[in-house]
Structure formats: structure tokens, C-alpha cells
């Protein structure tokens, strides 16, 4: 499971220009790919991460990520390309677009509208395509809950699970999901895995939070601190995730 990266408005400000030009709120076209482990670029309200946090689990491999375009503050398109071998069953990275916002209590959230169109190519792919949300009991505290929403589980990829079996099969945002639960250290993880691969997705992510409050006992006093969207690769060759369009906002 990925190492969670905490986002702040200060980090947005420190990274809010490339080649001396402000990106916030501007239309931006493709930039050169970056391949360093913790490489990132800021566009609007997004920070695009390469995030090779688990690369040490691999026998060999590499990954590069690039921004294709952004429009305004809440829309972005991007891609990531990788090859990873070895370390069976272990995640190597989480290239993702992280949305920067002010942490808010779940009880105060009205909507998190999002849409995501993507495609994947490559050989022998074992990977997911997933949202990753984190919550805490305070606006700047340690993560206590992780909420993953898997739009695809490619090649037999599977989520953290205490039992290996789903604890529920809810219908949320008009789709069927298998819900898994497990622990990542001290953090409780809920993973919604789509019953069918979904390359074009549109929903209000508040519906997933509402379900967890109603059916799994998550407290509405928790703060939503992070909203990310990307892919966790386990293994594969000449893989490329292309995010042709992605948008999200928190209200």
C-alpha cells in the first residue's frame, strides 16, 4: 500500500510555477515526463506525483509520469508509463493526481463531484486504477481511515483485506461493488472494488462516505484530508495508463 503524502496549501504555493510561469487557474499543455522517485508538478489545484514509494520491492523496473494538459483549477489529463518485475504481490508505486483543498469534516461535506476517463495498455499487467481518500480525527492529524475506490483490478490485483473476502456488496453511485476491509498499520482501509471494469466514471464521492457512515460506523466528525486518483502497479511490461480526462472538486 502506498505511503500517504500529506498535501497542504503551502506545498501548492511552493510548487505553483514551472519555468517562472504561474500554473494556478491557467490552461497548461504537455510538459516533459519526470522519472525521479518523488517527482511532481503542480497544475491548478492538482499535484501530479510519480511517487515510486515501493520501487525497492521490485527486482527491476522504472516509471515516468507526465502532464498532458490542465484546464482551470479542477481538470487535468496525464499519463504514466512503467515496467516492473519481481516483488510478487507488492505495490511498486502510486502515480496520482492529488487534489489540494482545505480539510473538512465529513459532516460539512455537500458534494465531491468527479469524472474520470482512462485507458491502460501493456503486457501481463497486474495493477489497479483507483481513487484514494484519507481521513483523520483532526484537520492536520495522522491518517486514520483510507477509502479506496477501485475502478479496475487488472490481472488479479487485490486490495488489503483481513479475510480475503468482501464484507459487503453495496450499490453506490449506481454501480455494484465488493467492499473489503483491512488494516494498513494503524490505519483502517475500506476498498470498494467495482464488479465490472469502469473506464468512464462519473459520480459524487460523498455517496461512498455516506455509505461508510451509515453501514460501517465511520464517524462524521472525521476530517477528509486527501483526495487522490491514480494507479498502483504490482507488475507488468511496457504499461501505460492514459488519463484522457479527470476532474474533481470538494464542497
- As given in the structure block, the three cell numbers for residue 14 are 511552493
Query: How far is Cα 239 from Cα 245, in angstroms, rounded to an integer?
Result: 19
Pairing relation of β-strands 17-18 and 175-184? Answer: unpaired
Active-site positions read: 146, 232
Three-state SS letters, 3-46 = CCCCCCHHHHHHCCEECCEECCCCCEECCCCECCCCCEEEECCE
Half-sphere exposure of 82 (CA within 13 A, CB side): 35
Which whole-number Å values give the CA distances from 221 to 134, 136, 157, 233, in the listed order?
14, 9, 32, 33
Alpha helices in the chain (DSSP H): 9-14, 206-216
Amino acid at each position: 500500500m502506498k505511503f500517504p503524502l500529506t498535501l497542504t496549501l503551502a506545498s501548492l504555493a511552493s510548487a505553483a510555477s514551472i519555468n517562472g510561469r504561474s500554473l494556478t487557474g491557467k490552461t497548461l499543455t504537455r510538459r516533459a515526463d519526470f522519472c525521479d522517485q518523488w517527482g511532481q508538478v503542480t497544475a491548478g489545484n492538482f499535484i501530479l506525483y510519480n511517487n515510486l514509494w515501493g520501487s525497492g520491492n521490485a527486482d527491476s523496473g522504472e516509471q515516468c509520469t507526465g502532464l498532458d494538459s490542465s484546464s482551470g483549477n479542477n481538470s487535468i489529463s496525464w499519463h504514466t508509463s512503467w515496467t516492473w518485475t519481481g516483488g510478487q504481490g507488492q505495490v511498486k508505486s502510486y502515480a496520482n493526481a492529488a487534489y489540494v483543498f482545505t480539510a473538512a469534516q465529513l459532516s460539512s461535506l455537500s458534494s465531491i463531484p468527479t469524472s474520470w476517463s482512462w485507458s491502460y495498455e501493456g503486457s501481463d499487467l497486474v495493477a489497479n486504477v483507483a481513487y484514494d481518500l484519507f481521513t483523520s480525527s483532526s484537520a492536520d492529524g495522522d491518517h486514520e481511515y483510507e477509502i479506496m475506490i477501485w475502478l479496475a483490478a487488472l490481472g488479479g490485483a487485490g486490495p488489503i483485506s483481513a479475510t480475503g473476502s468482501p464484507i459487503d456488496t453495496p450499490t453506490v453511485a449506481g454501480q455494484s461493488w465488493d467492499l473489503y476491509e483491512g488494516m494498513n498499520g494503524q490505519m483502517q482501509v475500506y476498498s470498494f472494488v467495482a464488479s465490472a471494469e469502469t473506464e468512464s466514471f462519473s459520480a459524487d464521492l460523498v455517496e461512498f462516505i455516506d455509505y461508510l457512515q451509515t453501514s460501517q460506523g465511520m464517524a462524521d466528525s472525521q476530517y477528509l484530508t486527501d483526495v487522490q486518483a491514480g494507479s498502483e502497479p504490482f507488475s507488468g511490461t511496457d504499461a501505460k495508463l492514459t488519463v484522457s480526462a479527470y476532474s474533481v472538486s470538494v464542497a
